[in-house]
Amino acid sequence: MFDFSIVTRWFDELLRGTLGLGDFGAILIECVIVGLAIIIGYAVLAIILIFMERKVCAYFQCRIGPVRVGWWGTLQVFADVLKMLIKEIFVVDKADKLLYYLAPFLVITASIGTFSFLPWNKGAAVLDFNVGIFLVTAISSIGVLGVFIAGWASNNKYSVLSAMRAAVQMISYELSLGICLISAVILTNTMQISGIVEAQTGPWQWLIFQGHIPATLGFLVFCIAGNAEANRGPFDLAEAESELTAGYHTEYSGMGFGFYYLAEYLNLFVISGLATTIFLGGWAPINIGIEGFDALMNYIPGIVWFLGKTFVVVFLLMWIRWTFPRLRVDQILKLEWKYLMPLSLVILVLMTVCVAFGWTFTIA
Amino acid sequence: MYYTLFITVLITAAFLVLAAYVTAKLLGPRSYNPTKGEPYECGIPTYGPSWLPVHVGYYLFAILFLMFDVETVFLYPWAVVVKTYGPLALATIGFFMLVLVFGLAYAWRKGALEWK
């Protein structure tokens, strides 16, 4: 497979050798390029996802969605971004100004932090710590703080209620999410994300095949919990517009609201990307042990595999969102604590038994 | 190098928010009137403070979360070595898992998982 780290190493040597920069200069330029790449990727994906969501939800509801701006409505999202940028940023008089402005920073930090862990290709992840999975869960829980602070600082009764709901829902579903990730760690023996993907190259080596029953259940639980974690789908009672106006971002105008909108869609992408990385092989192509077929699949670049699989999961989550009605708060907590949490513990034990006695699926 | 990149990611996030805020401040209009400064509660004038105590159920679930989250954190270092130790790993974590399950069962039995 194509290894992107060859390109980065060549670039590093270009800066240090040919251009004769020192350690500091080379690292600075590389960091700036990485930062720009993250921002561009983030913005482009947000635009694609928002457009996709609007079209997908339109077709699920027998509408046609945005069609006026640009061909087939393709410029609609650009118009929306422009509108958000030229709106006034306005704070409620009695709001806690410091926390009010701090909250988007936390939300976006959590979103970009987890986003930069995604392995786009072999050697093309921005962050690749040896405790990768653990750090992803740690960073993603900062998002809860951002949402909670946003609602609390707004000094609006609906926002406070929504912040409480969002917090209790997000922390609850984090548990099943974490346990599903642990079951993947058990199977691959490593917490490093590149190592996890590396373990999935080869015939029928995606974790969902390797770990058969527990991994399939884990994938389902991960998708449900991830959907709740991103405050979407049937679990969007934090922004239930029929009860709470707009929820925790009621008092945010223009770009302030834009951050939450951005973070919501990117969290959807991150959850799908993580589900892909952990269970569906990340950038690893599907191999079935037939030489010709495998060679053909390996010819397709890793980023195509990653994005393809991720967008399939994104579509799945959008399908769930636009099909099921919103749950009540007691139903949400019941679903997590009485169904998903015991189920994920069962998955954990099953996976441990499978791995300990070597009952995983591998072709010799 | 990883820590440099990690700091870069954090700075990137802060920069993105700051840049968007500054752009919006520069491009957007500015006007003020007292009605605009009120919180939006569906057009009804707001009554009393909003920072009030809320339903106790939220705290109950937060405490439960804290308990289980700390316990799952302890599972991570164990998860990395399951393949190396085989059935022994299952035996060593058995008691710990039992406590975890008993904790959940106890909370369930006590009615802590009901939303009242």
Instruction: Give the residue extent of every domain in chain B.
Output: 2-109
Q: How far B12 CA sits from the closest chain A CA (Å)?
A: 5
**Is the Cβ pair A168, B30 closer than 8 Å?**
no
Q: How far B63 CA sits from the closest chain A CA (Å)?
A: 10
- Average pLDDT in chain A: 86
Measured between CA atoms, the residue of chain A closest to residue B81 is: A189
Which ranges of A154-254 would DSSP assign to H, the alpha helix?
157-188, 193-198, 207-210, 212-229, 241-244
**Is the Cβ pair B42, A245 closer than 8 Å?**
yes
Which residue in A40, A108, A136 has the most chain B C-beta atoms within 10 A of its own C-beta, making it the best mutation to test that interface?
Answer: A108
Which residue in B40, B42, B67 has the most chain A C-beta atoms within 10 A of its own C-beta, making it the best mutation to test that interface?
Answer: B40
Contact A128, B2 (CB under 8 A): yes
In a domain, A58, yes or no: no
Please choose, from the candidates A177, A104, A193, A93, the residue with its C-alpha nearest in 3D space to the C-alpha of residue A142.
A104
Q: Whole domain around residue A163: which residue ranges? A: 84-356
Measured between CA atoms, the residue of chain A closest to residue B64 is: A172
What's the distance, CA A169 to chain centroid? 17
- A65 shares contact with chain B (CB less than 8 Å): no
Identify which of A175, A254, A337 has the shortest CB distance to residue B28: A254
Please choose, from the candidates A145, A207, A131, the residue with its C-alpha nearest in 3D space to the C-alpha of residue A174.
A145
DSSP symbol at A249: G
Mean per-residue pLDDT, B63-67: 86
Residue A122's φ and ψ, nearest 5 degrees, are -65, 120
Residues of B in contact with A256 (CB under 8 A): 21
Identify which of B9, B37, B41 has the shortest CB distance to residue A116: B9
Q: How far B88 CA sits from the closest chain A CA (Å)?
A: 8
Contact A124, A303 (CB under 8 A): yes
Beta bridge pairs of residue A122: A3
**Is the Cβ pair B8, A34 closer than 8 Å?**
yes
- The total domain count for chain A is 1
Cβ density class A275-311: b for 16+ within 10 Å, e for less = bbbbbbbbbbbbbeeeeeebeeebeebbbebbbebbb
A142 burial via Cβ count (<10 Å: 0-12, 13-18, 19+): middle
- Extract the runs of DSSP E, i.e. beta strands, from chain A: none
Residue A201's φ and ψ, nearest 5 degrees, are -85, 145
Measured between CA atoms, the residue of chain B closest to residue A128 is: B2
Instruction: Render pLDDT for A168-202 as a digit per residue (tens, 0 to 9).
Output: 888 888 888 889 989 888 888 888 888 888 888 87
- Non-local (6+) Cβ contacts of A232 within 8 A are A264, A268, A317, A321
- Non-local (6+) Cβ contacts of B57 within 8 A are A168, B115, B116
Q: Evaluate if residue A224 carries a pLDDT over 70.
A: yes
3-state secondary structure at position A122: strand
Tokens of A38: 């993250």
In a domain, A211, yes or no: yes
Q: Evaluate if residue B29 carries a pLDDT over 60.
A: yes
Identify which of A35, A86, A338 has the shortest CB distance to residue B113: A338
Please choose, from the candidates A301, A310, A304, A303, the residue with its C-alpha nearest in 3D space to the C-alpha of residue A277.
A310
Identify which of B40, B75, B81 has the shortest CB distance to residue A245: B40
Measured between CA atoms, the residue of chain B closest to residue A254 is: B24
Q: How far apart are CA B14 and CA A107, in angstroms?
A: 10
Which residue in B16, B23, B63, B93 has the most chain A C-beta atoms within 10 A of its own C-beta, making it the best mutation to test that interface?
Answer: B16
Which residue in B1, B17, B32, B40 has the most chain A C-beta atoms within 10 A of its own C-beta, making it the best mutation to test that interface?
Answer: B17
pTM score: 0.90
3-state secondary structure at position A143: helix
Measured between CA atoms, the residue of chain A closest to residue B88 is: A356
Residues of A in contact with B80 (CB under 8 A): 185, 189-191
Instruction: Render pLDDT for A102-114 as a digit per residue (tens, 0 to 9).
Output: 888 999 999 999 9
Identify which of A88, A183, A185 has the shortest CB distance to residue B80: A185
Contact A358, A211 (CB under 8 A): no
Q: How far apart are CA B37 and CA A90, in angstroms?
A: 8
Measured between CA atoms, the residue of chain B closest to residue A23 is: B1
Q: How far apart are CA B88 and CA B93, in angstroms?
A: 9
In a domain, A126, yes or no: yes
Tokens of A277: 């990385």
Mean per-residue pLDDT, A334-363: 85
Q: How far B103 CA sits from the closest chain A CA (Å)?
A: 11
Q: How far apart are CA B65 and CA B76, in angstroms?
A: 17
Q: How far apart are CA A148 and CA B76, in angstroms?
A: 27
Q: How far apart are CA B42 and CA B46, in angstroms?
A: 9
How far is CA A247 from each of CA A166, A180, A229, A237, A240, rounded to the nearest angstrom?
Answer: 9, 29, 16, 8, 7
In a domain, A342, yes or no: yes
How far is CA B72 from each of CA A3, A138, A169, A176, B62, rounded to the nearest angstrom?
Answer: 34, 12, 18, 10, 15
- Average pLDDT in chain B: 84
CATH 1.10.10.60 describes domain B2-109: no
Residues of A in contact with B101 (CB under 8 A): 345
Q: Evaluate if residue A337 carries a pLDDT over 80.
A: yes
Instruction: Render pLDDT for A268-321 as a digit per residue (tens, 0 to 9).
Output: 999 999 999 988 888 888 888 788 888 888 888 888 999 999 999 999 998 988
Instruction: Render pLDDT for A114-125 as a digit per residue (tens, 0 to 9).
Output: 998 988 888 888
3-state secondary structure A148-162: HHHHHHCCCHHHHHH
In a domain, A10, yes or no: no
Residue A364: pLDDT band by 50, 70, 90 thresholds?
low
ipTM: 0.86
Residue B41: pLDDT band by 50, 70, 90 thresholds?
confident
